[in-house]
Structure 1
Amino acid sequence: AAELVVHPAHRGRGHGRALGAALLAASGKRLRVWAHGGHSAARHLAQVLGLTLFRELRQMRRPLTDFALPEAALPEGVTVRAFVPGQDDAAWLAVNAEAFAHHPEQGSLTQRDLDDREAQPWFDPAGFFLAERAGRLVGFHWTKVHAEERLGEVYVVGVRPGAQGGGLGKALTVIGLRHLADAGLPTAMLYVDADNKAAVTVYERLGFTTYETDLMYRTET
């Protein structure tokens, strides 16, 4: 995988194409490249290099200063509490793997990955919400705060496959957004794959709009 950058003062001179060709050669033509912002020049370069569009990742945002959202309506028998590091790790990793079995990155997280995230300065278990039914974890909403930008993030929302379709994902999202709003953050953001129509629809109904689009291109081999 690669990210390719050309200084604005030196664009349009073939540097991007030269870098791309070098990356293709170094990777044996097995390459994925992110184009942030989805600009037309990046689309053209991908075409020149023989790369095809593989993934469209949307960044969506909504204001939190006027938090006009309904109360979170949890499905019957579901309660929500905060994540407890060391106690909930294994259960969370299991439900995360089930909820994101189709996702090549999120679904493959390990204990080491979780430990790395828990060690980050932004980690706050008070903003990591777990939904349980009869003592079994059925969903979660992990929020994140970007302190310098004063941005709250819907970091990841997951629902166990057997618990999907009952409004739990929406309820968990609202709970997390209220937490971020209560922290005094003016804006919330999230990332979602454009082909995840169900999630995009939920977020749009919650007032999110597309802020920026990132595109991943890859070789076919």
Structure 2
Amino acid sequence: MSSSSRSNQPLASVGWEPRCYRSAAHDTWSFGNHPGARALADDYGWQAERTLLQMTRRAGQPGLTQPTLEPGVVIRTYQEGDEAAFLQVNAAAFAQHPEQGALTADGLHERLSSPGLGPEGFFVAEIDGSLAGFHWTKLHPDGRGEVYVIGVTPAAQGRGLGNTLMARGLEHLAQSTRGADVLLYVEADNEPAVALYSKLGFEITQRDVQYTRR
């Protein structure tokens, strides 16, 4: 998600992974937030800035009921020519998310060519012919699926598009992974999303914490 650079801090020994360097600040991730990492954070004056939850929907759970589409709503796979409209929808849906919201055309093409992120698992929602939301899924080499990113424009929220896109993506992943686990990542402070994913059968399986030293 963010560019990597190594730090001279002795934090990798307990599962830390430096992610980026900013002027006047260092950021580093503790994957799983091991107790030893938290202790070192205190020792070196690092402060928890962000918590990312990994949530998993275990294999064997029943599929989601496909909601009835409103008139004018179409769910289809991403296709050539969707680039500009998708980038606009993505920027609007993730205006408060500096990494995903800043996705560029080059970044989109790079992701589309990455293993497990092909257009066959990339679903978009149209309302009267205009893109309004999307659900991009990912297939992992170990057989698991991932809700890679899902978003709906603010103007289209409240119409059930998120649930519809989620159901369609999970259906695709169930078929593509032969029913393996499906995971997703969500900000811990996004309480409405965490509650929604919990209702859909996802459970918290890991907490990754970003620490900052200023």
Cα distance in structure 1, aligned partners of 2:114 and 2:22: 31
Gaps of 5+ in 1: 9-15, 21-25
Of the three residues 82, 88, 97, the one matched with 2:77 is 82
State TM-score, norm by structure 1. Answer: 0.84
CA contact (8 A) 1:2 1:32 kept: no
Alpha-carbon shift at residue 165 of structure 1 (Å): 2.0
- Find the counterpart in structure 2 of residue 62 from structure 1: 57
- The 1:176–1:212 alpha-carbon spacing in structure 2 relative to 1, beyond 3 Å, is same
Are residue 117 (structure 1) and residue 117 (structure 2) matched? no
- Find the counterpart in structure 2 of residue 47 from structure 1: 42
Alpha-carbon shift at residue 171 of structure 1 (Å): 1.5
- The 1:48–1:84 alpha-carbon spacing in structure 2 relative to 1, beyond 3 Å, is same
CA contact (8 A) 2:63 2:170 kept: no
Residue identity over aligned pairs, in percent, reads 43
Alpha-carbon shift at residue 71 of structure 1 (Å): 2.1
Cα distance in structure 1, aligned partners of 2:63 and 2:83: 33
CA contact (8 A) 1:65 1:181 kept: no
CA contact (8 A) 2:87 2:104 kept: yes
Alpha-carbon shift at residue 27 of structure 1 (Å): 6.6
Aligned residues: 203
Are residue 176 (structure 1) and residue 176 (structure 2) matched? no
Are residue 166 (structure 1) and residue 159 (structure 2) matched? yes
- The 1:76–1:43 alpha-carbon spacing in structure 2 relative to 1, beyond 3 Å, is farther
Alpha-carbon shift at residue 56 of structure 1 (Å): 0.5
CA contact (8 A) 1:57 1:193 kept: yes
Structure with larger Rg: 1
Alpha-carbon shift at residue 76 of structure 1 (Å): 4.3
Alpha-carbon shift at residue 29 of structure 1 (Å): 4.5
Alpha-carbon shift at residue 120 of structure 1 (Å): 1.3
Cα distance in structure 1, aligned partners of 2:111 and 2:65: 31
SS of the residue corresponding to residue 70 of structure 1 reads coil
Of the three residues 194, 202, 209, the one matched with 2:188 is 194
Cα distance in structure 2, aligned partners of 1:73 and 1:48: 54
